Amino acid sequence: MADRKPNIVFMFSDQQRYDTMAAYGADYMQVPHLNQLSEESFIFQNAYVAQPVCTPARATIMSGLYPHTAGPIVNMINLPAEVKVISEMISDEYYKGYMGKWHLGNDIERQHGFNVWKSSEDSHGTGYTHTQLNNETSSYTEYLIEKGHEPDKVPEIDGDNVAAERKFSLLGRKSGQRAPTFTSNAHYDMPEEDQMASYLAQEATKFIEDNKDKPFVLYVSTFEPHSPYHGPFMDQYDPATIPVGPAFLEKPETASLVNRVRADYFMKFMLDGEDQTQDAYMMNYAAHREDVTTEAGWRQLRAHYLANITQVDNMVGTINQALKDNGLEDNTIVVFTSEHGDMLGDHGMLEKRSMFEESARVPLLMKVPWLSKGNQVIEGSVGHIDLVPTLLDLIGHEVPDHLQGKSLKPVLEGEADLSENDVFISWNGYDNDVPDRFLGDIKINRMLRLPWRTVVTPDRWKLALCAGDQCELYDLNNDPYEQNNLFNDPDQQDRVRDMAARIRVWQVQTGDTAPIPSTI
């Protein structure tokens, strides 16, 4: 075992903001497995996504390229086949598994060099590059059917033998028809053992047991705590007593127009008496099954979200236990992070698509048994762009020159720090061919069309630039909740110029052509 190559287990959740475990100040959270992992890991104090929305963020996590280089600059753009992900950069002596949400195209088929593929989503059929995939169902759906659950979204059935046709349809194999699927309504009313995180934990355990005698790489991606914020632990937290910060349900009056119109939209049901039940986006997407017409309702939504993280926590605990049970704990790198956060009422907003900390900053734990000595906090700021090169370096693989991040191995070994590390976050508007879905108000979609470029500097200042909107500057040391936009402060003029130059240098280095203000 001493000469065996190290394994990698990479677990990530969907829409989990940074302040959801004790290591990031949330000591009230009931997440014992995440807290235990943090006690054995490097804790990156300030970790940021490449872009605070699903597909672009995942493209960076998997490829080590910024979204504008990898290709998926918005949701529902497939990762090009020629863009390599980490599994294609690791030698074939490693056995490679991917389980859960992919969201980078052709979700239900094995791809990009993975040997084992357990899919979990069936809702991306319009993006499949070969339509016969519409006759297939995800591994998770097949599991649920085998457990006796009946899909609540079943296509019309024609033919004389209705019983036989229905059987084939339930198995997702009827030629020429969309396969049956489960809506969120069905998923979130199921018992814990049939939730996605539980299913993925079971499959990950099998993978670890089956491959304990050879080096492996395993990625596990669950949907929780993403909305709808419902699940089996709904009463876990008291909405009246959960901590909230000073920005909770406070509109960002000095911020950009895009943030202000978003806050106006989400807050109008509480402040202006708008009828939430008549708003399709709130009822079907943003606040499904929730009441955002009162502060108590917002608090309950937040409590439901936090309770969903228990499912993530249990998944992490199950997978870590499998490593211990199979004698692999001391030779396995374990990573936990999330693809982006959730505003949860802070700054009067919900969901992601924002440069605010609640949306763009996520937890990042990295357990490297031969380097981690208890919980070690890595101060400074870091981006997901560095994950792929760091993992390759840690297992002794060459780091390809085309990657746009850098290995953090010297930082973990104590030979370097992040005192000079700038972190860059993007928003790419949306693509002409793949516009974002309607987000509740045409003004929101219009303003989100504009691209943003953001830098977080080592001294913890954040500058967000947009060529067509009010720019933002925050002192994260003295204003951690980002309530005072200092962009127009004359005393900060030189700081803004210096930070804008950092963004421009990064753009040139990475081939980014998004416009930023030319005069500041």
pLDDT in tens, 76-119: 899 999 999 999 999 999 999 999 999 999 899 999 999 999 99
The CA distance from 144 to 182, in Å, is: 9
**Which distant-in-sequence residues (6+ apart) come within 8 Å of 426 by Cβ?**
50, 51, 56, 66, 67, 68, 451, 452, 453, 454, 512, 514
Give the pLDDT confidence of 213-234 residue by residue, as tens digits: 999 999 999 999 999 999 999 9
pLDDT confidence tier of residue 377, bands split at 50, 70 and 90: very high
Q: Which amino acid is at 427?
A: W
Strands (E), 70-153: 95-100, 116-119
Residue 452's SS3 state is strand
The whole-number pLDDT of residue 176 equals 45
Q: What average pLDDT does range 258-265 have in this prediction?
A: 98
Give the pLDDT confidence of 382-399 residue by residue, as tens digits: 999 999 999 999 999 999
pLDDT confidence tier of residue 155, bands split at 50, 70 and 90: low
**Phi, psi of 372, rounded to the nearest 5 degrees:** -75, 125
pLDDT confidence tier of residue 135, bands split at 50, 70 and 90: confident
Q: Yes or no: say if 337 and 364 are a contact pair by the CB < 8 Å rule.
A: yes
Give the pLDDT confidence of 448-501 residue by residue, as tens digits: 999 999 999 999 999 999 999 999 999 999 999 999 999 999 999 999 999 999
- Packed helices 295-325 and 32-39: angle between N→C axes, nearest 10 degrees: 60
- In the chain the domains, ranked by start, together with CATH numbers, are 7-149+190-251+293-421 (3.40.720.10)
171 pLDDT higher than 50: no
Q: What average pLDDT does range 411-417 have in this prediction?
A: 97
pLDDT more than 90, % of the chain: 85
pLDDT confidence tier of residue 178, bands split at 50, 70 and 90: low
pLDDT confidence tier of residue 158, bands split at 50, 70 and 90: very low
Strands (E), 298-444: 332-338, 361-362, 364-367, 376-383, 423-427
The CA distance from 509 to 456, in Å, is: 17
Q: What average pLDDT does range 168-179 have in this prediction?
A: 47
Residue 135: closest CA among 180, 179, 189, 81 = 179
pLDDT confidence tier of residue 2, bands split at 50, 70 and 90: low
Q: What average pLDDT does range 299-308 have in this prediction?
A: 98
Give the pLDDT confidence of 271-285 residue by residue, as tens digits: 999 999 999 999 999
Residue keyed to tokens 């099998």: 206
Q: Can you name the residues that pair with 96 across neighbouring β-strands?
A: 217
The CA distance from 341 to 336, in Å, is: 14
This prediction's pTM: 0.94
175 pLDDT higher than 50: no
161 pLDDT higher than 80: no
169 pLDDT higher than 70: no
The whole-number pLDDT of residue 1 equals 43
The whole-number pLDDT of residue 8 equals 98
Largest CA distance in the chain: 78
Residue 386: closest CA among 427, 422, 332, 341 = 422
Strands (E), 49-107: 95-100
In total, the chain counts a number of residues equal to: 520
The CA distance from 348 to 357, in Å, is: 14
